[in-house]
Every structure is written in structure tokens, then in C-alpha cells.
Amino acid sequence: MYSNYYTSSVPRMEGRKIQRVGRATLAVSLPRAWVKETGIKQGDLVFCIPQRDGSLNIMLSTLAERKAEAKEYVVDSDVCNEPGILERIIVGNYVLGRDTIRVISAKRMKPAHVAEVQRIVRKLMGMGIIEETPTQIILQCSIDPAKFPIPVVMRRLYIIASTMHKEAIQALVDSDRELAEGAARREDDADMIYWLIVRLLYMVERDRALADEMGIEDPSDIAGGRVLAGMLERIADWGESMARNVINLVDRGLELGKQTVSQLSRISEMAYNVSYSAMECVYTGNVELANGAIETFKKIIETEEDELMNRIPVEIPNSHAVARLTRIAWGIRRIAELGAEIAEIAINRSLTRSSKLCEEA
């Protein structure tokens, strides 16, 4: 657990000499500023937690006790006057790592609020309604964060997002409404995993011991993980958008140019490979692979997508079809661009480890 001594400003490193106490015990003094800030005094109990990197985490017993306490957070539905506010407050409490949320009303809870609670609970992994009365609903999250290694959950989010992308374009090629509907429905799964990742990252930010259990070896990976999760979630958003445009085109039975659809499919495959290579670099540190993904986006996809945007109005006579196909083409471009941005993050991340490309002198 980080204290304000380390997080309120620039971290301060103070040297301490090891002293011998008695015949076999070694001791070290504690920084005066930290002692003053925490209020620790002689006779207080602390816990020493060895870390994987060889460091030692000192936790006050009072902090350990507070961690064990089951806190409850109360949400007043009566002041949630705008549609969607109650849902977003519940999601916010969830991602902040809060386990027990009590939604209350001074009188009878409005049916619209009850519906909001029921709807959002289905989208939050591990969250459930454990008690419901006319004036309150109690939500409880039962997730054990140690059972959800962040690298594994992050890969799951990538698989969902990339599948949505591929299925949306395949549905366009085959005029398959059912496949497009399936791709669009995966958006709820993507949101569920995204919110879970944000929750886990917030929890490990406050608990270094938990971070080790969940595969976060460097605190800087927490910020990077949040950015990465956000980009993957946006890829899923674009996948849903493309799928819904395909559904619209299929329902209208509009004639689409074969050359346009073929080029869309080809550019889409390149965009898929960009994000795939970027994610491989995230997990393997293969800088050459990530660099190739960035170059593919800048030198090939951008050029071909611009050419396609110019061809669509010429080849397709129906203005509605032109609008929908243009949105799909833009979705492909954005997915490729997000993949390139992920590749840049992956390269920067790989540089934290020594390699043949870069090492400390």
C-alpha cells in the first residue's frame, strides 16, 4: 500500500545504514517525515511484505485493518434526475473497487431507476443484487481480484474487439445479417471486460502486494494498462458501429459495388494485422513487429483508404449506401490507427527492459 509520503509529490529516496541490534538482529531506522505523517509510534505493529523485485513493503497494521473492513457506499437515487446518471454512478463505484453499494430512495424507488440498476448490474462482472425492497437495492461484488491476472484479462478484451472487427466485415462481404448482429452484441462483453480491467488496475494501484499477484511487476504498467484498455475498448466500439451499418445495408437490400467491398475487406485485413502485431509486441517485446505495424498503417492503409473514399461515391449510385460504406471505411481506418498507437505504446514499454536494440551503458 502506497502512503501519501510517496504519492503526494515527487518520490523521496533517503539512504539508511543497517544497524546491528543485539547479537543476531539487523535494524534500520524509518524516515522521520514518514513517521510524522503516518503517526506511527514506538510499540505499533507493522507488517513487512517481501516483493518480487527484492524490495520490502512496510504496511501499518491500521492500513491492513482498514483493507479488511467491508465498506458500504450509499447512492441516493432521488437526486439522479437525468437518464443514465444512476447507471454511471454505479459503474464509477464499481471501477473504484467498491464491493458494496446501497441504492436508496426516501420513498418508493422509481421504476426507471430500478430498471437502470437491473440493466447495469448485468454488465458488471461479479456484481449482483443481494437485497431489494421498495426503498433500496443493495449490490455486492464478489470478485477475487487475485484470480484475474491483468495480462490475461487484457488479452480477452483484445480477442473480443478483434472478433467484432472481423465478423462485421465478413458480414458485409457475405450480406450476413445474423453475423453482423452477433458482432454488435459482443459490445456488452467488451464493456464488461473493460470495466473489470479498470477496476483491477485501480485496486492494484492502491495495493502493491496485490499488483504482484496479478502480474503487474512495474507500477508504471498501471497507467499504460489503463491507456491500452481504453484503446481496445474503442476498437470494440468501432466494430459495433461497423456491424450496425452492415445491418442497415442488408435490411435495405442495397446494391454494393463488388470492387468497393473487396477493397474494404482487403484494407480491413491489414488493419486487423496492425492491431494483432501491436498486441504481440505488448506481450513479447518484439519491436520489429510493432514497427512494421506502424509503417503498414502510415504507408499503405492511409493511402489505400483515401483512394477508397474517393471511389465509393463514383461506384455506388445510392447516396444512403455511400454514407454507410463511408462510415464502415472510416471505422476500419480508426481501428488501424488505434492499432498503430498501441504499437507505439508497446515499443515504449519494451524499452524498459534491456535488449539488443537498447541497453543501459
Largest CA distance in the chain: 92
Q: DSSP E strands: which ranges in the chain?
A: 19-21, 25-27, 46-50, 56-60, 72-76, 100-104, 127-133, 136-141
Predicted model pTM: 0.78
Q: What pLDDT, in 10s, does the model give residues 295-321?
A: 999 999 989 988 888 888 888 888 999
For CATH 3.30.110, list the domain ranges present in the chain. 72-141
Residue 10 belongs to what H/E stretch?
Answer: none
Q: What pLDDT, in 10s, does the model give residues 234-254?
A: 999 999 999 999 999 999 887
Higher local confidence (pLDDT), 24 or 42: 42
Q: What pLDDT, in 10s, does the model give residues 94-115?
A: 999 999 999 999 989 999 999 9
**pLDDT computed for residue 32 by the predictor:** 80
**pLDDT computed for residue 7 by the predictor:** 39
Q: Measured between alpha carbons, how far is 26 from 136 in angstroms, rounded to an integer?
A: 55
Percent of the chain with pLDDT over 70: 86
Q: Measured between alpha carbons, how far is 278 from 61 in angstroms, rounded to an integer?
A: 43
Q: What pLDDT, in 10s, does the model give residues 186-208?
A: 999 999 999 999 999 988 887 76
**pLDDT computed for residue 137 by the predictor:** 95
* Least confident segment among 86-95, 209-218, 333-342: 209-218
Type of residue found at 141: C
Fold classification of 72-141 is Translation Initiation Factor IF3 (3.30.110)
Sign of CA dihedral 345, 125, 3, 60: negative
Q: For 245, phi and psi rounded to 5 degrees? A: -70, -35
**pLDDT computed for residue 256 by the predictor:** 82
Return the HEC string of 195-241. Answer: HHHHHHHHHHHHCHHHHHHCCCCCCHHHHHHHHHHHHHHHHHHHHHH
pLDDT band at 19 (very low <50, low <70, confident <90, very high): confident
**pLDDT computed for residue 163 by the predictor:** 97
**pLDDT computed for residue 151 by the predictor:** 87
Closest CA to 209 of 54, 60, 49, 69: 49
**pLDDT computed for residue 354 by the predictor:** 67
Q: Measured between alpha carbons, how far is 64 from 209 in angstroms, rounded to an integer?
A: 12
For CATH 1.20.58.220, list the domain ranges present in the chain. 147-350
Does the pLDDT of residue 167 top 90, yes or no?
A: yes
Q: Measured between alpha carbons, how far is 234 from 60 in angstroms, rounded to an integer?
A: 40
3-class SS of residue 129: strand
**pLDDT computed for residue 205 by the predictor:** 80
**pLDDT computed for residue 53 by the predictor:** 60
Q: Measured between alpha carbons, how far is 208 from 54 in angstroms, rounded to an integer?
A: 13
Q: Measured between alpha carbons, how far is 286 from 282 in angstroms, rounded to an integer?
A: 8
Does the pLDDT of residue 43 top 60, yes or no?
A: yes
Buried-state track 98-115, b at ≥16 Cβ within 10 A, e below 16: bbebebebeeebeeebbe
Q: What pLDDT, in 10s, does the model give residues 111-160?
A: 999 999 999 999 999 999 999 999 999 999 988 887 888 889 999 999 99
Task: Determine how many CB atoms are found less than 10 A away from the CB of residue 326.
Answer: 16
> Which distant-in-sequence residues (6+ apart) come within 8 Å of 246 by Cβ?
168, 171, 172, 177, 180, 328
Mean pLDDT for 333-342 is: 95
3-class SS of residue 108: coil
3-class SS of residue 194: helix
CATH number for the region 147-350 comes to: 1.20.58.220
